[in-house]
Structure 1
Amino acid sequence: MDHVRVDKWLWAARFFKTRSLAIDAIDNGKVKLDGDRIKPARLLKLGEKLHIDNGSDQWDVLVVGLSDKRQAAPIARTLYEESAESIERRLKEQERRKLFTEPAADFKGRPTKRDRRLREQIDTSE
């Protein structure tokens, strides 16, 4: 195999859970080949550089293997080499997420009657 569709490769390399998500990301400009936007049906070749933004992380990878079948994660990792800058950037972002908690993470949907009563007690005590 000397080439494979970009959307299939992204799915096989486990950057996206489904091919549909990979296609949406490509169409929205989240996947770039050498800095240029591409189409999902573009044929990917060995040695090409991709910038991938899958929503939670950003990757800069060099394509070193081709596959159009989704296999185990250790095998999928052999399809690409991540750049040193990309690894460093992802590690910094993981550390930032670990230290900063999302303010709305404590909210579990609509407040209960108990929550409302506690809030009223706090408001009246002030």
Structure 2
Amino acid sequence: MRIDKYLWCIRYFKTRNIATEACKKGHVKINGDTIKPSKLIFNGEKITVRKDQINYVIEVLDIPTSRVGAKLVDLYRKDITPAEEFKKFELLKYSKDYYRKKGTGRPTKKDRRDLDEFQDE
């Protein structure tokens, strides 16, 4: 089965087109090698998928015949993503919250003065 179809079947991507684009952009690797969307996959291969700034690592257990339900996904893949990847994502979320909240507009003069004062200290 093609890698883009496999990632769509096990619900890592919402559409097959998105899975194909991820392969073309180099976000999907098999055993450390960047691949094309038409690359065939087999049981036992390790796939690395970069999605939402997390590098998911999946081991192929079996090849589905078509898209599977969410409860059946674990029959076809084994998620071996290291816990550090999720910790990095949590830290990234906190670092974004430190800055201005979305929708507050441009910084005011007072905000700039406060930043300058903070940097001078």
TM range (shorter): 0.7 to 0.9
Q: Which moved more, 1:73-82 or 1:87-96?
A: 87-96
With structure 2 as the length reference, what TM-score do the two structures score? Answer: 0.74
Q: Shift of the alpha carbon at 1:68?
A: 4.6
Mapped pair 1:40 → 2:11: no
1:67–1:39 Cα change, 3 Å: same
Mapped pair 1:66 → 2:63: yes
1:22–1:93 Cα change, 3 Å: same
**Which of 71, 78, 100 lines up with 2:95 in the alignment?**
100
**Which of 18, 28, 32 lines up with 1:31 in the alignment?**
28
Which residue identity lines up with residue 87 of structure 1 in the other structure?
A: P
The residue aligned with 2:9 is: 12
Distance 1:87 1:70 in 2: 26
1:7–1:63 Cα change, 3 Å: same
Query: Quick one: percent identity of the two aligned structures?
Result: 28
Count of aligned residue pairs for this structure pair: 111
Distance 1:73 1:37 in 2: 27
User: Relative contact order, CA 8 A, sep 6+: which one is greater?
Assistant: 1
With structure 1 as the length reference, what TM-score do the two structures score? Answer: 0.72
1:101–1:80 Cα change, 3 Å: same
Question: Which 5+ residue runs of structure 1 have no aligned equivalent?
Answer: none
- 8 A contact 1:63–1:80 mirrored in 2: yes
Find the structure with the greater CA-based Rg.
1
Question: Which 5+ residue runs of structure 2 have no aligned equivalent?
Answer: 112-121
Distance 1:11 1:41 in 2: 13
The residue aligned with 2:19 is: 22
